[in-house]
Every structure is written in structure tokens, then in C-alpha cells.
């Protein structure tokens, strides 16, 4: 497996509609923050959902793990750090860490796993050619 670390850091601001009556982010929104990181990672490294789709591949989510450490509150800013996890399996694995931008405290950590499907929704048991080419470019 490669030694190159692919990381994206994306800033988010907690909006009013994401908090409860105590001004604390509702737990379900952290998954949206992971997705914000996933999308920014894809844009930075040429691995967006549209990049997959234009190569006739779907990448559905099959697993998400999340550990909560602290809470974010209304108006706070956070950094979603998204890291590529190198794997020889036919999967796309990303790890996430959400930090409070001002205090640098870890708010939440997690991981997502996506698999590859063809346009007939058939599971691909080996990495698609598009993804193999992407790996050659980025994984050193």
C-alpha cells in the first residue's frame, strides 16, 4: 500500500437549523458534515460522485462509523478533515476527524465505506479501471 497521504480540510459553520433548543448540533448532522468533507475531498482529488458516474460507476455507502467526543454549538466553525484510507479491496474508504476550528478540540471521528456498482447495480468485486487509474496518479 502507498505512502502518500491524501487529505482534505474543509471548513463548516454550524447553522441555526442544525441545532436543538440548547444550541447544540443534533447528532445526525455530523454525518452531513462527513459528507461535506467527502465532497470536498472528491473535488480536490478528482474523485467526485460525477467522476464515478461519468465512468459508469456508482459508489453507494455501505458502512459508516462515528464516535462523538464533544459537541458543536450554533455559530461555531469546524474543520472536517477527510483522509483516504488505502485498501486493496474493491472499496472506497475514507476516515474523518471534525475539529473545533477555534479550540482545535476533536469533536467527532469516523469512517465511511463505499463499494463499486456498475450501472446495472451489480457489485464489482475488483476495482474499476477508472479507480485503478486514479490510484496510479495519487497513490505513490
Q: Minimal CA–CA distance to 29: which of 115, 108, 111?
A: 108
Answer yes or no: CATH 3.40.50.10090 is held by domain 7-129: no
The number of beta carbons lying within 10 Å of the beta carbon of residue 78 is: 23
Output the pLDDT for position 19: 94
pLDDT tens across 34-47, in order? 999 999 999 999 99
Contact 128, 67 (CB under 8 A): no
User: pLDDT tens digit string along 53-87?
Assistant: 999 999 999 999 999 999 999 999 999 999 999 99
In angstroms, rounded to a whole number, what is the distance separating the alpha carbons of residues 93 and 129? 17
pLDDT class for 3, splitting at 50, 70, 90?
low
pLDDT higher than 70, residue 2: no
**Domain segments of the chain: what residues?**
7-129
Predicted TM-score (pTM) of this structure = 0.93
Strands 61-68 and 77-85: unpaired
Q: Alpha-carbon torsion 16, 19, 25, 27, what sign?
A: negative
Amino acid at each position: 500500500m502507498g505512502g502518500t497521504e491524501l487529505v482534505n480540510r474543509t471548513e463548516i459553520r454550524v447553522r441555526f437549523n442544525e441545532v436543538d433548543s440548547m444550541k447544540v448540533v443534533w447528532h445526525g448532522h455530523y454525518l452531513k458534515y462527513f459528507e461535506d468533507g467527502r465532497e470536498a475531498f472528491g473535488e480536490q482529488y478528482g474523485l467526485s460522485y460525477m467522476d464515478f458516474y461519468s465512468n459508469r460507476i456508482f459508489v453507494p455507502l455501505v458502512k459508516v462509523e462515528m464516535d462523538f467526543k464533544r459537541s458543536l454549538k450554533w455559530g461555531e466553525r469546524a474543520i472536517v478533515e477527510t483522509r483516504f484510507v488505502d485498501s486493496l479491496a474493491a472499496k472506497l474508504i475514507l476516515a474523518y476527524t471534525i475539529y473545533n476550528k477555534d479550540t482545535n478540540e476533536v469533536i467527532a471521528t469516523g469512517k465511511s465505506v463505499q463499494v463499486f456498482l456498475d450501472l446495472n447495480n451489480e457489485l464489482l468485486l475488483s476495482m474499476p479501471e477508472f479507480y485503478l487509474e486514479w490510484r496510479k496518479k495519487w497513490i505513490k
